Structure 1
Amino acid sequence: MPDFPLRKTMILIEDIHHEGGPPPALPRRRAAILAVVKNPFAGTYTEDLQSAMDDLKPLGLMMTDRLIEAMGGIKGIDGYGKAGLAGEGGELEHTALWHVPGGYAMRERLGAARAIVPSAMKVGGPGTRIDVPLGHINAAYVRSHFDAMEVGIPDGPRAGELLFALAMSRGGRIHHRMGGLAVEDVKGEDGLR
């Protein structure tokens, strides 16, 4: 059983009050939580990585709970995404360990979330930034929710570390007007429409 000791977490909250045009009735909130953990696979090639995803599920649940709290509660959260970043000695496939734990945790806590959780993965050193893609939680074709939140930690990931991120949003882009499936028309049956 691989060990992923947690070095630090960071929470970022962004309230968007204006984007040109008339001010929205309510600001749009986006928030992200980042965690830096030891990468037990750094510097080696390991054939079977998939089983280690289960070891990260408690981290995913803890991060999701803290992120929902930062969002001011579950009500109205309708966008999500995840990202992973491997530090020196790590490989891109190590970031893929986050697919199940990050997505599973948000889906479990948000309830009827049917859409795939968008994700981004890359390799980089301390201070590397990554865009966490965001999409609607129940329907991938909701264009108003296509977005990204840039995140990073100044001192991570260091060599032998992984940085994992989760992000959530409440509402679509301010003044979205690119058509597509409207939120009120989401059926949420297949995660697409």
Structure 2
Amino acid sequence: MIEVRKIVTIKEEIFHEGGPVAAKPLLRVAALAVIKNPHAGRYVEDIQGTMKELEPLGLELADRLVAILGGDRSIVEGYGKGAIVGEAGELEHGALWHVPGGYAMREGLGDAKAIVPSTKKVGAVGARLDVPVTHVNASYVRSHFDAMEVGVPDAPRSDEMVVVLVMTTGPRIHARVGGLKASEVKGEDGLR
């Protein structure tokens, strides 16, 4: 069983990045769960079962993010995930979040097509993580290439992990570097 010490949520409202004020602010939200790392302090050959154990937590965090955004999952245009592993763990322990975190985002959003971008690292208490974000249906939508910096001041302890999900409601404010537009997404292959 996954032991959760705490859950932290973050909500950003971005009105401008030095240019004109946006008609509608970009919302970026994150949910971070500080959990006991069941594999900390020792090498375990078969760790894959932990992914299944993490699935309910992934769904809970995805549901929390949609609720923070007002309950309308259709406004979510970007997503990402990540993990910070405490010093008694290994990078591979953070990789256990790939499947349950991505599954939870796609499940919670209905019919999202794109792979959920991810990052992970081993870090000390207070470590920060830049979680990459892409469009939910097409990874090639440049306007949605983004990141959200997250962290928990008292985590991860050496035998813990911080697992993270991020959702956004649109492109970067003032996005203007061209490429595939969100309005042009076909949503067939997760890329275009």
TM norm structure 2? 0.98
For residues 89 and 2 of structure 2, the distance between their equivalents in structure 1, rounded to whole angstroms, comes to 13
User: Which amino acid in 2 is paired with 1:190?
Assistant: D
Displacement of 1:44: 0.7
Deviations, residues 104-141 of structure 1 (Å, cap 9, x unaligned): 01100101100010000000011000001000000000
For residues 37 and 19 of structure 2, the distance between their equivalents in structure 1, rounded to whole angstroms, comes to 46
Q: Gaps spanning 5+ residues in structure 1: where?
A: none
Q: Which residue of 2 aligns with 1:125?
A: 124
For residues 111 and 35 of structure 2, the distance between their equivalents in structure 1, rounded to whole angstroms, comes to 29
For residues 139 and 102 of structure 1, the distance between their equivalents in structure 2, rounded to whole angstroms, comes to 18
Displacement of 1:68: 0.8
Q: Which residue of 1 aligns with 2:5?
A: 7
Deviations, residues 6-58 of structure 1 (Å, cap 9, x unaligned): 00000000000111222111000000000000001001111111121000000
Q: Gaps spanning 5+ residues in structure 2: where?
A: none
Aligned Cα root-mean-square deviation (Å): 0.7
Q: Which residue of 1 aligns with 2:88?
A: 89
Displacement of 1:75: 2.9
Runs of 4+ with deviation above 4 angstroms: none
Which residues in structure 2 correspond to 1:69-148 (within 5 Å)?
A: 69-73=67-71, 74-148=73-147
User: Which amino acid in 1 is paired with 2:148?
Assistant: M
User: Which amino acid in 2 is paired with 1:5?
Assistant: E
For residues 71 and 157 of structure 1, the distance between their equivalents in structure 2, rounded to whole angstroms, comes to 26
Displacement of 1:79: 0.2
Which residues in structure 2 correspond to 1:16-95 (within 5 Å)?
A: 16-73=14-71, 74-95=73-94
Contact kept, 8 Å, 2:16 with 2:174, in 1: the verdict is: no
The percent of aligned pairs where both chains have the same amino acid is: 60
User: Which amino acid in 1 is paired with 2:122?
Assistant: V
User: Which amino acid in 2 is paired with 1:95?
Assistant: G
Aligned pairs, number:
191
For residues 103 and 44 of structure 1, the distance between their equivalents in structure 2, rounded to whole angstroms, comes to 27
Do structure 1's residue 181 and structure 2's residue 175 form an aligned pair?
no
Q: Tell me the secondary structure at the aligned position of residue 75 of structure 1.
A: helix
For residues 134 and 66 of structure 2, the distance between their equivalents in structure 1, rounded to whole angstroms, comes to 16
